[in-house]
Amino acid sequence: MKLKNANPQQVHGRFQRRLAGCAMTAALMLLPLAVPLADAREGVEVGKNSAFTKLVPAEDIERSAAQQYQQMMGQASAKNALGPRDNPQVVRLRAIATKIIPFTLEWNPRAKDWKWEVNLIGSNQINAFCMPGGKIAFYSGILEQLKLTDDEVAMVMGHEIAHALREHARERMGKNAATSIGATVLGQLFGLGQLGQTVTNYGAQLLTLQFSREDESEADLVGMELAARAGYNPQAGVSLWNKMGAASKGAPPQWLSTHPSGASRIADIERNLPKVLPLYERAKPR
């Protein structure tokens, strides 16, 4: 009855106030749900993959990596330098990889379709790598000379896997293409021509690519998180780089040649430890 006696402006004003009140109530009800979503992810923050990765097809890079990897393993086998599957260090490496790999999907959805491989090459080199597509290899030198614990192995492996997940090789190739082949070829890279005619011999590039310091620092952080989620102590990153520094003897080993200095990366690791230690505490063996 009051609405019937009210003038149109009063009715309109009441309606507007009620509508605003309903909107505010709905917003307040949704707010508790929205806030956790923004903070839902635990771990390190490194941003999105570089836009340069889109200049080179992932399938081509991964296919070339698989071919190059098989060639390398074949050469090692021919020299009796490829660790057999029952070698204790091979068993160890594959066990660690099995724990880390399930946590790779969040960083790169393509990883679910990768044909992961883990091998050991007998060599004094202090080196390890993970090619695009999940092709991992450790050289016996890095295990034996540095006497790595499982936690330290996980840090090395996580670092190398991170390069593949973050597609750093693909990014470097994309940057090389963008700076060297000109506007006409860039049109081809965007689907107007045949990429294979412009960027060739991916396998050879994979062996000679050098990652930037930013790539290496990013791989440290992502690798540390992967190791922590798999139940390996991320504090091992500090002892690992202390061992690396001691092994360098004035000249960095191959695995360190393009990496940030040990002091700076240890500081970066220590700065980010609070972000990953809770992950490790939940995942570590009881």
* 216-264 per-position pLDDT tens digit: 889 999 999 999 999 999 999 999 989 988 887 655 554 455 555 667 8
Determine the average pLDDT of the residues in 118-138. Answer: 96
Could you tell me the pTM of the whole model?
0.76
DSSP string, the chain: -HHHHS-HHHHHHHHHHHHHHHHHHHHHHHHHHHHHHHT---S----SPPGGGGGS-HHHHHHHHHHHHHHHHHHHHHTT-BPPTT-HHHHHHHHHHHHHGGGSTTT-GGGGG---EEEEE--S---EEEETTTEEEEEHHHHHTTT--HHHHHHHHHHHHHHHHTTHHHHHHHHHHHHHSHHHHHHIIIIIS-GGGTS--HHHHHHH----HHHHHHHHHHHHHHHHHTT--TTHHHHHHHHHHHHHTTS--GGGTTSPPHHHHHHHHHHHHHHHHHHHHHHS--
Among 117, 152, 160, 171, the active-site one is 160
| Average of per-residue pLDDT values in the chain | 80
Give the pLDDT confidence of 28-48 residue by residue, as tens digits.
454 444 444 445 678 898 888
Determine the average pLDDT of the residues in 145-170. Answer: 95
Indicate if 152 belongs to the active site.
no
Determine the average pLDDT of the residues in 142-162. Answer: 97
Is residue 77 over pLDDT 90? yes
